[in-house]
Structure 1
Amino acid sequence: MDARDWDERYAANELVWSTEPNQFVATELADLPPGRALDLAAGEGRNAIWLARRGWEVTAADFSQVALDKGRTLAGDTAVRWVCADATTWSEPAAYDLVVLAYLQLPAAQRRAAVRAAYDALVPGGTFLLVAHDSTNLAEGAGGPQDPAMLMTAEDVLADLEGTAYDVVRAERVARTVGDRNGEEPVRTAWDCLVRLVRSR
């Protein structure tokens, strides 16, 4: 899907995603001291807004202007810098203490470009956090993209960063519980990959 497709999807729904932060973003980052953060492919900005309300100076970037406009409305008085930009061509080197990539599902070459752009945006000592639908979710889990080319593993993400210097905090498959919000469907397990790194230099 390109930016126009996503604009149409965001325009057709009151909210495509929850107003709450992703559970892994919240648990992994709750104890980090605030600094400068980039939420790359931020969508409607749920993670960016959560970070900003915890004291972070946040940039939320997405290639859908409709999503960003909705995020700005959701944020209210919360200060977030909203930037219409493609994650695969982002270029703001060594500018952030934290970069988040949450559920940016792209084919391998585009994913690698976005992962490298996110890493390059970190200062030394900065934290990189990626959460995405894991490749195993297609056969073993619930929901998510049904095209295997859009899925990944933690190992794929680490391979995208070959030649860079980092310390691995976590790189693994994690379970996420999903179910109908009205209780009409059974609770199921979705499988995500989670990669948390600290840039060494």
Structure 2
Amino acid sequence: MQAEDWDARYGERQQWSGEPNALVAELVSGLPPGEAVDVAAGEGRHALWLARLGWRVTAVDFSATGLARGQAQPDADRVTWVTADVTGWSADPDSLDLVLVAYLHLPDPAMTDLLRRAVGWLRPGGRFLLLGHDLDNLAHGTGGPQDPAILHSAARLAPVAALLDVDRLGQVRRETPAGTALDTLLWGRRPAPPVGAGR
């Protein structure tokens, strides 16, 4: 879908709950606040939630209408809102403590290229969290995109996981009103450079 398509969807109605995804909240809520980016932030539900926890957040999305919904919410002034295509946007290297990529689905090589770059935005020890619809959701889950070329899997994320110290990589279940959905989770941190590196 193009930016115009998402603008139309966001213009019709709110697309998601204002609350964070439960697994995102579980994993991130115990981290000390720092600098974060919400990649493909949509209506900004995660960016706003992080800001309320004390994070300094940049929310990036190509839908100006989606971001405008976020900017109309309480605490929106705590977030930096950026209208941009995430495949061309970049943060400074080694500048972030958290990269959050929730339910962004792009074909390769664009998806892997973006995620590999995003790891480089993290400071050593910074956290990387990707959550999105799993390939197996097509046959065994409910909802989500129906194009296998844009769905996640542990195998598809392996080139990105290789850049991280991985805590979790695999399929997770998510209960929805329509039934059980299957997602892929990648949760890890950017390793510290080897002792003596750069000397």
Residue 74 of structure 1 aligns to a residue whose secondary structure is coil
More displaced stretch, 187-196 vs 124-133: 187-196
In the alignment, what sits opposite 2:54?
55
**In the alignment, structure 1 residue 148 sits paired with structure 2 residue 148:** yes
Q: SS where residue 153 of structure 1 aligns?
A: coil
The equivalent residue for 1:86 is: 85
Tell whether the 8 Å contact from 2:52 to 2:75 is kept in structure 1 after alignment.
no
Shift of 1:171: 0.5
Give the drift of 1:63: 0.8
Over the matched positions of the two proteins, sequence identity in percent amounts to 48
RMSD: 1.4
Query: By how many angstroms is 1:141 displaced?
Result: 0.3
Q: Over residues 64-94 of structure 1, what are the superposed CA-to-partner deviations in whole Å (9 max), with x where a residue is unaligned?
A: 1111111111244551010111111222222
| Cα distance in 2 for residues equivalent to 1:110 and 1:64 | 18
Give the deviation of 1:113 after TM superposition: 2.2
**CA contact under 8 A between 1:39 and 1:99: conserved in structure 2?**
yes
- The yes-or-no answer on 1:25 pairing with 2:24 is yes
Unpaired segments ≥5 residues, structure 1: 180-186
Contact 2:172–2:183 (8 Å) recurs in 1: yes
- Kindly provide the amino acid, as one letter, of the partner of residue 51 in structure 1: L
- Matches for 1:57-72 after TM superposition, within 5 Å: 57-72=56-71
What secondary structure sits across from 1:189 in the alignment? Answer: strand
8 Å CA contact 2:60, 2:81 repeated in 1: yes
> Is 1:99 paired with 2:99?
yes
Runs ≥4 residues deviating over 3 A: 75-78
Q: 1:168 aligns with which of 166, 173, 194?
A: 166
Q: Show CA shifts across 1:146-177 (max 9, x none).
A: 11112111231122455x3x200111100000
> Is the 2:142–2:181 contact (alpha carbons within 8 Å) kept by the matching residues of 1?
yes
What's the counterpart of residue 185 of structure 2?
Answer: 194
**Matched-pair contact (CA < 8 Å) for 1:89–1:113:** no
Instruction: Please give the residue correspondences for 1:132-147 in structure 2 after superposition, counting only pairs within 5 Å.
Output: 132-147=132-147
Please state if 1:178 is matched with 2:169: no
State TM-score, norm by structure 1.
0.90
> What count of residue pairs does the alignment treat as equivalent?
191
Question: TM-score, normalized by length of structure 2?
Answer: 0.91
